[in-house]
Amino acid sequence: MAQQISPTLQRMRWFAVALCTFAIALNYIDRSTLAVGNLKIRESFALTAAGIGALQSAWSLTYAFAQLPIGAMIDRIGTKRLVGWALVLWSLAQAAGGVFTSFTGLLASRIALGVFECPAFPGAVRCVSDWFHPRDRGRPTGVYTVGGDLGRLIGLPIMTALMLALGWRGMFVAMGVIGLVGAVGWFVLYRDPDLSGLPQADRDYLDFNQTTKNGGNLRDWTRLFSFRSMWGLIFGAFCSGYVIWMYGTWLPGFLEMQHHVSIGKTGVLAMIPLACSIIGSQVGGHATDWLAHRGVGIVASRKIPTVAGFLLSAAFCALAAYVTGLNMALVGVSGSMFFLAFAQTGHWTLITAVAPHSQSASVSSIQNFGSYLGGTVSPLLTGIVVDATGSFDLALALGAAFMIAGAFFYGVVVRDPIDLDEPADAIAVGTNQAAAE
């Protein structure tokens, strides 16, 4: 039976999740400006498809390595301050991309964007870990993971309109100003958990969080890499990130180059798979909690939707590679993005089932490091394949293969919860009993 909590705690925790979702939405809108301005930026700097892919990969590689320390910083400092100041800085970097007139300046602004955008997702993981019991984290995870697709869904037509009205440079500057306004709202409204004034039942519900030690300890952070499950999360996230940024960088280009859709129409059609992705995140979040509340082990209840989602996403991605018509291609991409988001919610929730609470942001940022290594390879490799073959067919087939590999890493390699109190010999062997609890 679910533990009863007060309406006050319900409002506090869901408002915190809503603000994290808002921050992630802004985060994804800013990083998607490159995809929206793809062809116009290429014209401005005489870039090939591989060149625009390299620009995206520079951002992604920077973001990946910035992930490594940021989780430990969030575990020690808290979500409010770190995400808030990051929002200020990445908005300034976003605006700078439209001000610089050289390719080198644009490249520098994207690298800065990669550094400062990195706290958003680990901050949301820590927020959910602070406010929700492990068996109740699927739904809020489904909500904040929607932030990325919601940002692109809302942002695509807005950014397309801004670009047509102001040019791609004006679009970059305008999004930077919007981000600065959002940062002010974040500092005014967001609160880290404070149990003062809450009823005893609420305190009991969140007691598992209040009794854990503070994170940010270098020794414990280093020991995370001793666990098999940590490496499963890293490699699984690499595969997931590869496909996420194959779509994130090249979906508009896929529609415009392969199916000859106009820029204006692309802003509308690209909303269809993004809407499917939003629905997939919600369905995936409910699925994980549904399994957890019906006796499935806390780790297994997160792994099952993850593995199933990746395999089904691979099947639809292969369909998109095989068909030639625009309508069926949209069906393939939309189905693939639905199940990819379904799986994403599973593997983000899996972090809070596998990681110690004191290291939840650290584990999430390390996993995200793997994701954005995949996101670094994907845009560049996709651009090279498109330049070489003249189509996206092989690039989509590679995406399907990476999703199958992701299902393996999350399904087989991730096994037991990470217990930093285990002796070293137990780490190597693992304990199946822990996964069943």
Q: Dump pLDDT digits (tens) for 20-73.
A: 999 999 988 888 888 788 778 888 888 877 777 777 778 878 888 888 888 888
- Buried b / exposed e across 119-135, counting CB within 10 Å, b at 16+? bbbbbbbbbbbbbbbbb
% residues pLDDT > 90 (the chain): 27
User: Is 204 contained in some domain?
Assistant: no
Looking at the domain assignment, is residue 149 inside a domain? yes
For residue 277, being part of any structural domain is answered with yes
Residue 429: the pLDDT is: 39
With respect to residue 206, please indicate whether it lies within any of the assigned structural domains.
Answer: no
What's the pLDDT band for 250 if we cut at 50, 70, 90?
A: confident
Contacts of 273 (CB under 8 A, 6+ apart): 247, 251, 330, 333, 334, 336, 337, 338
* Structural domain contains residue 2: no
Quote the pLDDT of residue 216: 55
DSSP-based three-state secondary structure for 122: helix
> Helix crossing, 7-36 with 49-77: angle to 10°?
160
Report the pLDDT value the prediction gives residue 419, as an integer from 0 to 100: 76
Q: Which residues contact 25 (CB under 8 A, 6 or more apart)?
A: 147, 148, 150, 151, 154, 155
Is residue 209 included in any domain, yes or no? no
Q: Are 363 and 351 in contact (CB under 8 A)?
A: yes
Specify the pLDDT at position 433. Answer: 38
Of 23-32, 102-111, 141-150, 168-177, the range with the lowest mean pLDDT is: 141-150
pLDDT digits (tens, 9 = 90+) for 332-377: 999 999 999 999 888 888 887 888 777 877 888 898 899 888 888 8
> Does residue 196 fall inside a structural domain?
no
Q: What is the pTM of this model?
A: 0.72
Residue 159 lies in a domain: yes
Residue 51 contacts residue 42 (beta carbons within 8 Å): yes
Please state, as a whole number, how many other Cβ atoms lie within 10 Å of the Cβ of residue 412: 12
Instruction: Answer yes or no: are the C-beta atoms of 262 and 407 closer than 8 Å.
Output: no
pLDDT tens digit sequence for 405-437: 999 999 999 988 887 766 543 444 343 433 333
Mean pLDDT of 308-329: 91
The conformation of residue 430, written as its DSSP 8-state character, comes to: -
**CATH number of the domain that 306 lies in?**
1.20.1250.20
What is the distance, to the nearest Å, from the Cα of residue 427 to the centroid of all Cα atoms in its chain?
Answer: 28
Cβ neighbours, 10 Å, residue 46 = 8
Looking at the structure of the chain, the number of domains it has is 1
Q: What is the C-alpha separation between 366 and 343, in angstroms, rounded?
A: 18
Average pLDDT, the chain: 83
The domain of 382 spans 10-190+215-436
